[in-house]
């Protein structure tokens, strides 16, 4: 569920490409959103709006694996972990991503399996 602030950010995105990417994330088209945002990030890696949008896209992409009941654990944890780690590239302080990374790593440890890198 989108908060009022997130909705306002979605509507007030200064960059129309960021707004387009945010709409794609909302529609579950994570790879399309990331493919729009990546070139923007490469052009201006310090653009806070782009970094926030990329972190959000990767977080929601990770959640799409993590909370997909139709995927068995062997198919959801590794791709979710990869996406959560990507969040930290754009938002190193993101507590949600850090908590989810820790959760998945603990699951691997409990299963006695190596943690994917």
Residue-range domain boundaries for the chain: 4-111
Q: Which pair of structure tokens corresponds to residue 56?
A: 């959000």
- Assess contact for 20 and 36: CB atoms under 8 A: yes
Q: Which residues contact 20 (CB under 8 A, 6 or more apart)?
A: 36
Q: What is the pTM of this model?
A: 0.87
User: For the domain 4-111, what is the CATH code?
Assistant: 1.25.40
Per-residue pLDDT of the chain (117 residues; tens, 9 = 90+): 444 444 444 455 678 999 999 999 999 999 999 999 999 999 999 999 999 999 999 999 999 999 999 999 889 999 999 999 999 999 999 999 999 999 999 999 999 999 998
**Predicted pLDDT of residue 74:** 83
């Amino acid at each position: 569920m989108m908060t009022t602030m997130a909705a306002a950010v979605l509507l007030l995105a200064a960059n129309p490409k960021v707004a387009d990417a945010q709409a794609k994330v909302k529609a579950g088209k994570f790879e399309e959103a990331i493919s729009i945002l990546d070139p923007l990030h490469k052009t201006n890696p310090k653009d806070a709006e782009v970094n926030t949008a990329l972190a959000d896209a990767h977080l929601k992409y990770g959640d799409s694996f993590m909370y997909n009941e139709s995927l068995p654990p062997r198919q959801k944890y590794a791709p979710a972990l990869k996406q959560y780690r990507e969040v930290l590239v754009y938002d190193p302080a993101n507590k949600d991503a850090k908590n989810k990374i820790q959760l998945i790593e603990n699951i691997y440890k409990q299963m006695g399996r190596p943690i994917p890198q």
